[in-house]
Structure 1
Amino acid sequence: MTTEPFDDAPDFEPDEISDRSLLTAQTRSAQIEAQLEVDPSQFRVLTGDRPTGRLHMGHYLATLRNRVRLQDLGVETMILVADYQVITDRDEIGSIADRVRDVVTDYLAVGIDPARSTVFAHSAVPALNQLMLPFLSLVTDSELRRNPTVKAEHDATGGRPMSGLLLTYPVHQAADILFCKANLVPVGKDQLPHLEQTRVVARRFNDRYAGGRQVFPSPDALLAESVNVLGVDGTKMSKSKGNTIDLAMTEDETAKQIKRAVTDSNRTITYDLDNRPEVASLLRMAATLSDRDPVAIADEIGDGGGGGLKRLVTEVVNEHLRPIRQRRRELEADPGYVASVLAEGNARANEIADATLAEVREAMGMVYSAS
């Protein structure tokens, strides 16, 4: 693969994405999709999750399926289990080892192939994290404080002092992406500011420390179609709210959870994103998993009401997840294999990170010999 940036790749301010810049990113993303069909070997993707709990339907629809698609196309894929980022905004991290194991198990169950994708953990790759030091010298505190995620997380604390790790979260993400010289990052449009901060870090490092030589690429965004689904309580699907449909749930647990789902009193089911978001979310979930039109599903249910909708969604979800859950049970029965996948991925990530750090030290004139 090549880590050269695309000549026509747009540069954005890291804290603000204009409509014009978003359109440019969408256009570039469409061009990349076409290139993926022709020569996927020119790309290296970095993606991942914080191990805050088992993965759920929101993760599956928004990211997991796309990762498997990219892997199957032949794109070199690096998947990060961001265990260090769990402590970014939390005092208690619980049984982090169990959570990491659960996430890796979910990855393998949905189709991530360790022979084609590298699965690794933050804390197991020291050289990745060491890149934070030179990268921090390339950004200002005002740039970090303007980052939308940092602002949102800080606002959510109710005035609680911000941790240094939360403030530097965008730089940590830049290290995640650049340590392996990823040139493509699947993101939603709300994550574009993070990616633009990474582009700024890469450009400034190349200019300031490498004399204009390209040590790091400027990664592009691969903007996927949004398939966000609501939790069963009608708010964003989140493990902390207990409103998720976990990939690891049994069929009975899934049925009970979907039965709790918020709908409305209108017995005629219609697909109306603006006026009936909870109903629309359930329809969209069923449509995406069954490769159908949500309007057609709504017409099929007709005046069956919320009960009819929930029964159909339950059937579709359980049918789609059945082979994934079977694979997950097999993996749970073989924890040694799951551990070996992570160990091998960590070893591979360390090879890459060590080589990148050596190149960084050379560029910065920090290689010292005994002579």
Structure 2
Amino acid sequence: MDSFTATARRMPALRSEIADHPERYRILTGERPTGRLHLGHYVGTISERVRLQDAGVETFVIVADYQVITDRDSVGDIADNVFNAVLDYLAAGLDPAGTTIFTHSAVPALNQLIIPFLSLVTEAELHRNPTVKAEAAASGRALSGLLLTYPVHQAADILFCRGNLVPVGKDNLPHVEITRTIARRFNERYGPVFPEPEALLTETPELPGLDGRKMSKSYGNTIGLGMTADETAAAIRRARTDSERTITYDPEGRPGVSGLLATAAVCLDRSPADVAAELGDQGSGALKALTTEAVNEFLREHRERRSELTAADAASVIRTGNARAAEIAQATLREVRDAMGMIY
């Protein structure tokens, strides 16, 4: 049985355990601040974080600023991206009282864990990681040391706070597996310190961009959470469709039409095929109008809450989160050094 099948079979029992005993779990999740957050982030990950937080699961969200440079030469407008991500987290319902929001670079003790962790994996294991292989192929340049060791950095992110639950999609399951490997090998070599975290497979399918391709800021096919209603309408108006009047859901044959249908459907909590059947032969104009209305209504409350927040609110949340994460990381690092006989 492959690891995905085994993990998928475990999900009903795991979700039941989380519902019955949320206090037993601590999740670590987050993203790289390479740009503004978009609708795909909201439906794919942020809403799940809010659900778990509200269910009583202690939640850590890392804004992985150091990891921005795993596959690029500069950090870009990183401060703006970080602050806007935190504003979107707060507007979506993440509560700093139950969720620790922090930045990677502000927690040096976390990053120091990478050194002993690197001794626990082989070069071959790192090269086999799907994300490393995919990013290396996409970058078109030599593999950097930071990109090669990216899975070890993620293991440090998860284990510094004793995270034992990691929400992931199928493609990111290997990151949890290598984290489990690192935790197990450390415990075998030095004594029990770390839990072996479990993957919590997310149920939301990946939302395509407005053009049917993968939703990506670099493609310009996203609907940013910080967009206004008018900006959203303009982005949807610019989306490329085709001249066929009958609306059908065909991701391969009609990617533009299907991307809009998928966007409308997730906002309306319906299937893309159902939305297509409703539109019938009304054409792309009607599809774009329906999609615009659906997205703007879906994000209306989020935008209202976001408009009430300021950069000062984001800065305060980050300072508090960084201080708590740093305290936990220092305690974990001391325990690691003690287990390794390095307290002098």
Q: Which TM-score tier does this pair reach, normalised by the shorter chain?
A: over 0.9
Segment drifting more, 90-99 vs 269-278: 269-278
| RMSD (Å), alpha carbons | 1.5
> Residue 240 of structure 1: which of 208, 218, 221 is its match?
218
Aligned equivalents of 1:20, 1:155: Cα separation in 2:
25
Aligned equivalents of 2:301, 2:104: Cα separation in 1:
30
> Residue 120 of structure 2: which of 134, 138, 155 is its match?
138
8 A Cα contact 1:230 1:278, kept in partner: no
The AA in structure 2 aligned to 1:120 is: F
Aligned equivalents of 2:312, 2:236: Cα separation in 1:
33
Aligned equivalents of 1:322, 1:157: Cα separation in 2:
37
SS of structure 2 residue aligned to 1:77? strand
Question: CA 1:205/1:28 → structure 2, altered by over 3 Å: closer, same or farther?
Answer: same
SS of structure 1 residue aligned to 2:29? strand
8 A Cα contact 1:129 1:175, kept in partner: yes
Map 1:265-344; keep pairs closer than 5 Å.
Answer: 265-273=243-251, 275-331=253-309, 334-344=310-320
2:33 matches 1:62: no
Report the counterpart of residue 345 of structure 1 in structure 2: 321
Aligned equivalents of 1:35, 1:289: Cα separation in 2:
29
SS of structure 1 residue aligned to 2:2? helix
Segment drifting more, 20-29 vs 264-273: 264-273
Query: 1:273 Cα shift?
Result: 4.4
TM norm structure 2: 0.96
SS of structure 1 residue aligned to 2:239? coil
Aligned equivalents of 1:38, 1:266: Cα separation in 2:
51
Report the counterpart of residue 172 of structure 2 in structure 1: 191
8 A Cα contact 1:105 1:328, kept in partner: yes
> Residue 222 of structure 1: which of 200, 204, 216 is its match?
200
Query: 1:265 Cα shift?
Result: 3.2
The AA in structure 2 aligned to 1:260 is: R
Map 1:17-56; keep pairs closer than 5 Å.
Answer: 20-56=2-38
Query: 1:263 Cα shift?
Result: 2.8
Report the counterpart of residue 358 of structure 1 in structure 2: 334
8 A Cα contact 2:168 2:200, kept in partner: yes
Report the counterpart of residue 162 of structure 2 in structure 1: 181
Query: 1:360 Cα shift?
Result: 0.5
SS of structure 2 residue aligned to 1:58? helix
Report the counterpart of residue 5 of structure 1 in structure 2: none
Map 1:143-182; keep pairs closer than 5 Å.
Answer: 143-158=125-140, 160-182=141-163
The AA in structure 2 aligned to 1:71 is: Q
Aligned equivalents of 1:282, 1:354: Cα separation in 2:
47
Report the counterpart of residue 112 of structure 1 in structure 2: 94
8 A Cα contact 2:211 2:259, kept in partner: no
Report the counterpart of residue 111 of structure 2 in structure 1: 129
The AA in structure 2 aligned to 1:65 is: S
The AA in structure 2 aligned to 1:219 is: P
Aligned equivalents of 2:18, 2:254: Cα separation in 1:
36
TM norm structure 1: 0.89
Map 1:2-21; keep pairs closer than 5 Å.
Answer: 20-21=2-3
8 A Cα contact 2:70 2:147, kept in partner: yes
The AA in structure 1 aligned to 2:206 is: N
Aligned equivalents of 2:5, 2:290: Cα separation in 1:
37
* Number of residue pairs matched by the alignment: 344
Question: CA 1:263/1:226 → structure 2, altered by over 3 Å: closer, same or farther?
Answer: farther
8 A Cα contact 2:208 2:263, kept in partner: no
SS of structure 2 residue aligned to 1:79? strand
Query: 1:226 Cα shift?
Result: 3.8
2:237 matches 1:259: yes
Aligned equivalents of 2:208, 2:243: Cα separation in 1:
18
Q: Deviations over 1:129-180 (max 9, x none)?
A: 000000001011111111111111112232x222111111000000000001
Query: 1:277 Cα shift?
Result: 4.1
8 A Cα contact 1:231 1:261, kept in partner: no
The AA in structure 2 aligned to 1:29 is: M
8 A Cα contact 2:210 2:263, kept in partner: no
Contiguous gaps of at least 5 residues in structure 1: 1-18
Query: 1:195 Cα shift?
Result: 1.0
Q: Give aligned-pair identity as a percent.
A: 63
The AA in structure 1 aligned to 2:308 is: E
Query: 1:243 Cα shift?
Result: 1.7
Question: CA 1:275/1:36 → structure 2, altered by over 3 Å: closer, same or farther?
Answer: farther
Question: CA 1:30/1:266 → structure 2, altered by over 3 Å: closer, same or farther?
Answer: farther
Aligned equivalents of 1:95, 1:281: Cα separation in 2:
28
Q: Deviations over 1:275-314 (max 9, x none)?
A: 4444333223222222233333222111112211111111
